Amino acid sequence: MGNTKSNRSIALFGSMKQLIIPVAALAVLILFNLIADPSFFRIGIEQNNAGNPVLSGNLISILDYGSELAILAIGMTIVTAATGGQDISIGSAIAIAGAVILRILCGTESAPETMKAPIIVAFLVACVVSMFFGAFNGMLVSVFKIQPMVATLILFTAGRSIAAWINSNRLPIVNEVEFTYFGGNIPGIALPTPFFIAVACVIIIALVLKFTNLGLYTQAVGINAKSSRLNGINPTFIKFLSFVILGLCVAVAGLIKVSRVSSINYSTIAKDIEMDAILAVALGGNALSGGKFSMTASILGAYVIQFLTTTLYKFKVPSNALPAYKAIVVIILVVLSAPVVREKLSSFWKKIRVSKKEAS
């Protein structure tokens, strides 16, 4: 049994290996910014709208906006692992969640003086609604065996209209400052709240993965659903469940999104965020065809994506040109993770190692 320990450390390294891609991407971005303009990393103290001192700077905004992406990446990773497909409706689903929150808080008025219900109630209702829409997607994928991207295309198309319909096309505004805490700062705390919400979500998912078999089941189903069934797992339910979990993540992201502006714009809220979330999963080195996954790598991937976005903004890339730049990243990623390239790289490493050995 002497060598089991070293075997285990190899396994640990194996999962660490997946972190190489996001970490390398992060290093490249940091290096680029250091050379191009070191002021990118400056962190200052500012007064926010409520008059509280808060930290500001590019790094803080990465932490801020990367957090909502990280929350979505958690759900997207599980959906990807279990179904081997992605949910492209999360942007629309966030619009629905946001609309529901505003509907509960404002009732039928457009800008009430006080909130009609506690925020927690509004949030919980949004959770239920988002999980319902997640269940709808999950049902299409697991029971009717529709390709995830095609199944979620339905909500992708209809979601924003549903969101507008929930508030009869009004754009309600919440006037209470308390509501801005979730997407902004809690008085006295200099870091943006989304970061703390993301930390809470990460802790929750870490606990869930540790104390349940969610990880084992989703991976087993994603790799071989037939054989999973013969081992007593219910693949249909696991796939369904993955979408419901993503629904929960969507509700949290929705709360942050509407809290940021205390209102909603149905057509632009969380626009294209599904692509960033999927990209986060891919950047984490997870196979988009499902199966094995690393949650840590996905979450890290989310922040790296946001780092990239912020860097591009910093260099005055117009926001409608952003996708083109992100596409370049996607190309590099996809090429790097292709089996052909991986094989070439590993044989290249081998050669280097051999020549080093010979030299010594």
Residues that bind other proteins (CB under 8 A): 1, 3-4, 7-8, 10-11, 14, 210-214, 216-217, 219-220, 223-224, 226-234, 291-292, 347
CB of 205 to other proteins, least distance (A): 15
- The tokens describing 209, both together, are 């993965």
Using only C-alpha atoms, the chain has a radius of gyration, in whole angstroms, of 22
Minimum distance from residue 90 beta carbon to other proteins (Å)? 25
- β 53-56/44-47 pair status: antiparallel
Which parts of 172-232 fold into alpha helices (H)? Answer: 193-211, 214-223, 225-230
The residue type found at 279 is L
Burial class from Cβ neighbours inside 10 Å (0-12, 13-18, 19+) for residue 173 reads: middle
Three-state DSSP at 349 gives helix
DSSP E strands, the chain: 44-47, 53-56
CB of 208 to other proteins, least distance (A): 10
Q: How many Å apart are CA 228 and CA 235, to the nearest integer?
A: 7
Closest CA to 174 of 251, 247, 258: 258
Name the one residue in this structure whose structure tokens are 């965020």. Answer: 273
The token pair that represents 204 in the structure block: 């929750």
Using CB atoms within 10 A of its CB, is residue 300 exposed (0-12), middle (13-18) or buried (19+)?
buried
**Between residues 161 and 234, which has the closer beta carbon with respect to other proteins?**
234
Q: Nearer to other proteins by C-beta: 8 or 145?
A: 8
**Shortest Cβ distance from residue 195 to other proteins (Å)?**
29
Residue with Cβ nearer other proteins (42 or 344): 344
Q: Least distance from C-beta 342 to other proteins, angstroms?
A: 13
Residue type, 87: D
In the chain, the largest separation of any two C-alpha atoms, in whole Å, equals 78
CB of 226 to other proteins, least distance (A): 6
Which is nearer to other proteins, 114 or 231 (by Cβ)? 231
Closest CB to other proteins among residues 163, 214:
214
Token duo for residue 201: 């979500």
Place of tokens 């929750």: 204
Count the alpha carbons within 13 Å of 214 in the hemisphere toward its beta carbon.
Answer: 22
Nearer to other proteins, 319 or 347 (CB): 347
Nearer to other proteins, 5 or 316 (CB): 5
Least distance in angstroms from the C-beta of 325 to other proteins: 33
Judged by beta carbon, residue 6 or residue 360, the one nearer other proteins is 6
Please state the closest distance from residue 223 (CB atom) to other proteins, in A: 5
